[in-house]
Amino acid sequence: MKELVAGRLLLPAWERWASKTGIHDGDYHSDYARHADRVFRLSDALHRELGIGRGDTFAVLSANSHQYLELYHAAFLGGGVINPLNLRLAPRELQLILADSEATVIFVDDLFADHLLRAIAPVRDELVLNKVVLIGDGDHRVDFRYEDLVETGHPTPPDEPGEDDPVVLMYTGGTTGLPKGALLSQRAEVLNLYHIAMTVLLEPDRVFLHQTPMFHAAAMAGVLGIPAIGGVSVFQPLFEPGQVMDLVEEHRVDWTVVVPTMLAMILEHPDFSPERFASMRDIVYGASPMPTGLLARVQEALPQVGLWQGYGMTECSSVLTMLTDKDHRSGGARLASAGRPVLGVEVSIQDRGGNICATGEPGEVCARSANFMTGYWNRPKETEAAFRGGWYHTGDVGRFDGDGFLYLVDRANDMIITGGENVYSIEVENALSTHPAVAEVAVIGVPHPRWGEQVHAVVVPLPGAVVTAEELIEHARKSIAGYKVPKSIEFRSEPLPLSGALKPLKQELRRQYEERSGS
């Protein structure tokens, strides 16, 4: 290929590893020949039965599955633009996104069919959405069934797309403000994969567990990379820590991508033992900050595992910087860093005027590279604002050290301003997370009549652990300045509320606090 198109990475691999069993999804197992055949049929049906042409959008609302992978691959081969939907979207958000994305077709699995059908029923006339396809054999009122489409499609490889063709329309956040669709091209997806693969070696013998939700940008290394090298994909429909361990053992999984919360839930699971992870070689984590206390527990429990932290966002297909296995093993202050920009990506810290900040000075993390989105779907103004000055503005606050390691100080939105001082919530979370009784922690700013905001911590203790707010405050005081130490701490026994991408929902925590305090 002269063109950087994702499908051309996949096709030679499917030919070369035709008879290799590369897909395990519950009772479904497939070699690459069958996978290619199904994707070709699906592409054909997408086009002829469902009317999806180049640039046309189809949505997916489904737990992780081999069908989800097939839908991505159909898009990669030139069969339209896939619009993967967050599974936690409220009905109103589903309506908004489906109206915005202009999807004419949606694929939904048994698990989410009722939810979807109820959500869209009131607005069905206003949407261009006119075909619902059911993945599975449940009893729902839909227009098509997935397996029928695959059966009737012709197994011919589709026409080759161009490298600037859009291929993924992924809505960002959804946790704050109106969700925006980041439109990602073939080229952006391919180069994002290259950037990852230049940091973490992809090798044909890899066995990958899809436990991260497949609607999330962090899933892309597995969705595009693993099948491009003839590796093995193992699917977990919805994250459940006990089942993770079963699947790792059963398929000798050696690579996965997680958010830190997942690691915490696995380590805390009563059935956890390091032996169950004996086959694991690399764990990539990202999407939300890793508390240093949790990281230390992972390193101690799984010393043989290479740890890789990725930092990025949907807008850049997924990755900007990585903290490598080697960086993790060298330890020290760098463990609190998000690593260095991967080859091919430029990162700079800028002040509000767009000037480059000096080394060590915090400012907004900005980046430019070939893996960025074409733009926000139908939002030229937001696109222009995001790329002002030729740099993508992440909204994160960060700083570089002298060796080029990036430290994320906070989300601009999660920074607490108390008595005129900036407090970065991550720093406070790190200080608390090293206490042996702490399982999960989130730090937020809550209203304070005098100081504007005060530092407040929500803590989930480890099962059986007993700890007081005073002890935790004393513990934090050892490592951070007085004005950063939480003034109040609340304890919970249930896990923290999480977004669909399993990031702690700080906005939700703030809302709950305000409700309770009647403010």
Name, in order, each residue with C-beta under 8 angstroms of 419's C-beta and a sequence gap of 6 or more. Answer: 450, 451, 452, 483
Residue (of 513, 389, 497) closest to 444 by Cα position:
513
CB 41, CB 71: distance < 8 Å: no
Site for a second copy in 270-329 (CB under 8 A): 324, 326
Residue 164 near a second copy by CB under 8 A? no
Taking residues 399 to 438 in sequence order and writing x for each that binds a second copy by CB under 8 A, - otherwise, the string is -----x----------------------------------
Q: Which of 72, 285, 372, 424 binds a second copy (CB under 8 A)?
A: 372
Q: Is 2 in the site for a second copy (CB under 8 A)?
A: yes
Work out whether 132 is an interface residue with a second copy (CB under 8 A).
no
Nearer to a second copy, 168 or 345 (CB): 345
Instruction: Candidates 33-41, 339-347, 473-481, 503-511: pick the segment binding a second copy (CB under 8 A).
Output: 339-347
Q: Which is nearer to a second copy, 87 or 196 (CB)?
A: 196
Stretch that binds a second copy, among 82-90, 142-150, 166-174, 363-371 (CB under 8 A): 363-371
Select 280 or 373, whichever has its Cβ closest to a second copy.
373
Smallest gap from residue 186 Cβ to a second copy (A): 12
The CB-side HSE value for 447 (13 A sphere, CA atoms) comes to 10
| Amino acid sitting at position 222 | G
The residue (of 2 and 516) whose beta carbon lies closer to a second copy is 2
**How far is residue 41's CA from residue 150's CA, in Å, rounded to a whole number?**
5
Helix axes 32-48, 6-16, angle to 10 degrees: 140
Residues between 171 and 200 with contacts to a second copy, criterion CB under 8 A: 190-191, 194, 197-199
Considering only 370, 462, 467, 469, the residue that binds a second copy (CB under 8 A) is 370
Tell whether residue 368 is a contact of a second copy (CB under 8 A).
yes
CA dist., res. 9 & res. 15, Å (int): 11
In the chain, what's the furthest Cα-to-Cα distance?
69
Element (H or E) spanning 515, and its range?
helix 506-517
Closest approach, Cβ 98 to a second copy, in A, equals 30
Closest CB to a second copy among residues 182, 496: 182
Single residue of 143, 203, 246, 471 touching a second copy by CB under 8 A: 203
CB of 465 to a second copy, least distance (A): 40
Which of 229, 244, 349, 496 touches a second copy (CB under 8 A)?
229
Cα–Cα distance measured from residue 335 to residue 293, given in angstroms and rounded to the nearest whole number: 10
**Which CB atom, from 333 or from 356, has the smaller least distance to a second copy?**
356
Find the binder of a second copy among 81, 97, 202, 323 (CB under 8 A): 202
Among 337, 369, 383, 434, binds a second copy (CB under 8 A): 369
DSSP state, residue 208: E
Give every CB contact of residue 18 below 8 A, 6+ residues apart in sequence. Answer: 31, 32, 33, 36
Handedness of CA 233, 237, 241, 243 (dihedral sign): negative
Which segment (9-17, 88-96, 300-308, 476-484) binds a second copy by CB under 8 A?
9-17
**In 3-state terms, what secondary structure has residue 229?**
coil
State the binding string over 78-117 for a second copy (x if CB under 8 A, else -).
----------------------------------------
Closest approach of a second copy to the CB of residue 36, in Å? 15
* Residue type (1 letter), 319: V
Q: Which is nearer to a second copy, 12 or 419 (CB)?
A: 12
Euclidean distance between CA atoms 258 and 192, whole angstroms:
18
Interface region with a second copy, contact rule CB under 8 A, candidates 50-58, 64-72, 338-346, 468-476: 338-346
Q: Which among 85, 87, 76, 2 is positioned nearest to 39, based on CA atoms?
A: 76
Give the CA distances from residue 207 to residues 22, 226, 287, 487, in Å, rounded to whole numbers and listed in that order: 9, 8, 22, 46
Closer CB to a second copy, 148 or 159, in the complex: 159
Q: Does 17 participate in binding a second copy (rule CB under 8 A)? A: yes
Beta bridge partners of 84: 60
Among 42, 207, 228, 397, binds a second copy (CB under 8 A): 228
Helix count and strand count (H, E) for the chain:
17, 26
Under 8 Å between Cβ of 401 and 407: yes
The amino acid occupying position 330 is S
Where are the alpha helices (H) located in 156-228, listed in sequence order? Answer: 186-197, 220, 226-228
Nearer to a second copy among residue 226 and residue 267 (C-beta): 226
Q: H or E segment at 516?
A: helix 506-517
What dihedral do alpha carbons 229, 299, 473, 270 form, nearest 10°?
90
CA distances, 394 to each of 44, 364, 365, 431 (Å)? 38, 7, 6, 25
Nearer to a second copy, 404 or 436 (CB): 404
DSSP code of 498? B
Least distance between a second copy and beta carbon 313 (Å): 16
Using CB under 8 A as the binding rule, whether residue 201 contacts a second copy is answered as yes
Identified binder of a second copy from the candidate list 91, 138, 344, 495, rule CB under 8 A: 344
* Residue (199 or 288) nearer to a second copy, CB: 199
Match 């000075």 to its residue by tokens.
361
CA pair distance 255, 268, nearest whole angstrom = 20
Residues near a second copy (CB under 8 A): 1-4, 8-9, 12, 16-17, 190-191, 194, 197-199, 201-204, 228-230, 324, 326, 340-341, 343-344, 346, 368-370, 372, 404
